[in-house]
A and B are shown apart, each in its own frame.
Chain A
Amino acid sequence: MLRVEEIHKSFDDFKAVNGANLTVQKGALVAVIGPNGAGKTTLFNLITGQLKPDKGKVVFNEEDISKLPPYQICRRGIARSFQIANIFPRLTVFRNVQVSVLSQQGKSRKLFYPAEKLAVKETNSILESVGLSDKAGNTAGSLAHGDQRALEIAIALGNEPELLILDEPTAGMSPEETTATIDMVKRLADLRGLTLLFCEHDMEVVFNAAQSIMVMHQGLTIIQGEPDEVRNSRQVQECYLGGAEPC
């Protein structure tokens, strides 16, 4: 479904992504791991068009999307969440998600029709599925950190994506919150038939949840494979897990 081929991106002299490869099968749950600064977020930004690659290709459903602007990529069926809460702080929680649903339905430019009456059912169902129903009327900027993260995912769901990319969905969360969030994400993926691509720091979470894991180090893909395969790879142990026994 998604194929990233030998992608490169440098900022001035710094090679952030230096030959990354990634394959995501339809319906799979794929994780990208790597130490800080390995280029995970840059890779995601390259896939969703926030950055343009210097070299290499991003192929989604047999189409090269590496030169498209973000909004076009989104319309092809890829939605994403961001590592730092990237929401609409002055709007209500409801409106945050509704704007996304309206965009998906192609109604963003409708003038002279009350927005209140549009996309209400869809928005409410998304808010319910991430557990934000009771906060729908709150201003998004006033939400607690965990709720903002959930809203972040809800906004991405509003686009009814085929492929959902989550950039560290549990950043800054306690272990309990992390488990709850990952469970929620997995449930949503099942429910909506999503393909998931995410990156994550918590090794336990990754090795339990993902069907396929891609390991990045210094902008380079070291390996992509099933959890067991990655766990036992000597290369991974050397450069990422520091030679110690993996969890």
Chain B
Amino acid sequence: MFKDVFNLKSLVLPGAIFVVLLILPPIIPRFYTYILAVIFVTALLAMSLNMVVGHGGLFQFHHGVFYGVGAYTVALMLTKTSLPIWACFVAGPIMAALVGLLIGAFCIRLTRLYFGMLQISLGSLVWAIAFRWYDLTGGDDGMHGIPMPPIISSSKGAYYFALIILAICMIVIYLIFKSPFGATLQAIRDNPDRCEAIGINVRRHQLIAIVIASFFAGIAGVLFVVVEGSVFPDLLFWVFSLEVFIMCLLGGWFTFAGPILGAAMMVSLRTFVGIYTEYWTLILGIVLILLIFFLPEGVWGFLLEKFGRQTKGAVEGGSE
């Protein structure tokens, strides 16, 4: 199946980027290693969101919940239980997927904006638990200094761990994107009523997509704990979820690689403009306004359209 989806040409660019990222850490300052690791985590989160937003057409407004649940699950299990570390790491995404199933099952009964509003409400309940239950979650202080196995506790270790997991997840998400499931999901995005009329159980399909997306958000949550060594309730706050949503729009939400670019831009903006002013969101606002007027398909969407005729086949396949 790998042979069928990936051809050699399509692997050149991602492969080259991967190799460059592999050899970077010894060369660049530690701070940049850390920022890149944060970008990896955020990119995975944005990609998981884009599965339901860009490919599924759902208004997933509170994706941060699943990210936060993944992060809190692994943090709590690492600090409060003596289970083996791999079990804690696996539990994060699974718990996120379960919460995705639960919240999704309610939200899926509604459509469009109503779906988004209900998700914010239900998600905020989960946020309130993390924010208020001091005994368990540390409340608004969060949890810090979560113990990590030595191999990934250094910033370089965390970097490589995040990079490799991101690469694996990208391949899996790409396979899903290219599968009949992904094709049908994109058809639902374009026209849910018509899908219903050709025999597709639209709600069930969307629910499965939400669960899968939550699972990957959970993985991103685990990576966050590995990179940062801490968790706090802001991860589950709806404002942060909106930020991730913007990353998808920024990068290009109908494309596969767009969210990665969006995440990289957003984290860079926050980090490097944030050094000079705490009002970095002002710059973000201006960027967004320009985006809406000039690049409605996002940056990556724009690049694909402009230069994409030959690379389009390679990077996006025939499905766009």
Residues of A near any B CB (own CB < 8 A): 48, 50, 69-71, 74-75, 79-80, 82, 86-92, 94-96, 98-100, 102-104, 107-118, 137, 155-156, 158-159
Contacts and interface: CB of A to CB of B under 8 A. Distances in A.
Interface in B160-208: 175-176, 178-184, 186-187, 189-191, 193-202, 205, 208
Nearest to A86: B194
B207 to A, nearest CB: 11
Nearest to B196: A70
Contact of B183 (A50, A89, A98): A98
Contacts of A112: 1, 175-176, 179
B180 A86 contact: no
Contacts of B186: 88, 90-91, 95
A110 B190 contact: no
B254 interface: yes
A115 B320 CA distance: 13
Nearest to B318: A92
Nearest to A88: B190
Nearest to A118: B180
A108 B196 contact: no
A75 B199 contact: yes
A66 B42 CA distance: 47
A114 B1 CA distance: 7
B319 A86 contact: no
B178 A90 contact: no
A137 to B, nearest CB: 7
B4 interface: yes
B4 A108 contact: no
Contacts of A75: 199
B194 A88 contact: yes
Contact of A71 (B181, B191, B199, B320): B199
B5 interface: yes
A30 to B, nearest CB: 19
Interface of B: 1, 4-5, 175-176, 178-184, 186-187, 189-191, 193-202, 205, 208, 254, 317-320
A100 B191 CA distance: 12
Nearest to A112: B175
Nearest to A136: B318
Nearest to A90: B190
B43 to A, nearest CB: 22
Nearest to B186: A91
A40 B197 CA distance: 18
Given A103-B184, A107-B180, A113-B1, 18 more contacts: A50-B193, A75-B199, A79-B197, A87-B194, A88-B191, A91-B190, A91-B319, A94-B318, A95-B183, A95-B319, A99-B187, A99-B198, A100-B198, A103-B198, A112-B175, A112-B176, A155-B194, A156-B198
B51 to A, nearest CB: 12
Contacts of A94: 318
A174 to B, nearest CB: 26
B197 A48 contact: yes
The 6 A-B residue pairs whose C-beta atoms are closest, nearest first, are A74-B199, A88-B190, A114-B4, A70-B196, A99-B187, A110-B180
A89 to B, nearest CB: 6
Contacts of B254: 90
A98 B187 CA distance: 10
Contact of A116 (B176, B193, B318): B318
Nearest to B200: A103
Contacts of B193: 50, 86
Nearest to A109: B181
A218 B191 CA distance: 30
A115 B198 contact: no
B183 A99 contact: yes
A114 B5 contact: yes
Contact of B184 (A87, A99, A114, A137): A99
Given A90-B254, A90-B320, A92-B318, A113 B196 contact: no
Contacts of A114: 1, 4-5, 175, 178-179
A49 to B, nearest CB: 8
A111 B208 CA distance: 11
Contacts of B179: 110-115
Contact of B197 (A80, A92, A109): A80
Given A50-B197, A95-B319, A115 B182 contact: yes
A112 B186 CA distance: 16
Nearest to B212: A111
Given A91-B186, A91-B187, A115 B180 contact: yes
Contact of B180 (A69, A108, A159): A108
A149 B195 CA distance: 17
A87 B179 CA distance: 20
Contacts of B189: 90
Contacts of B200: 71, 99, 103, 108
A88 B195 CA distance: 9
A159 B199 CA distance: 8
A96 B186 CA distance: 10
A92 B180 CA distance: 14
Contacts of B208: 109
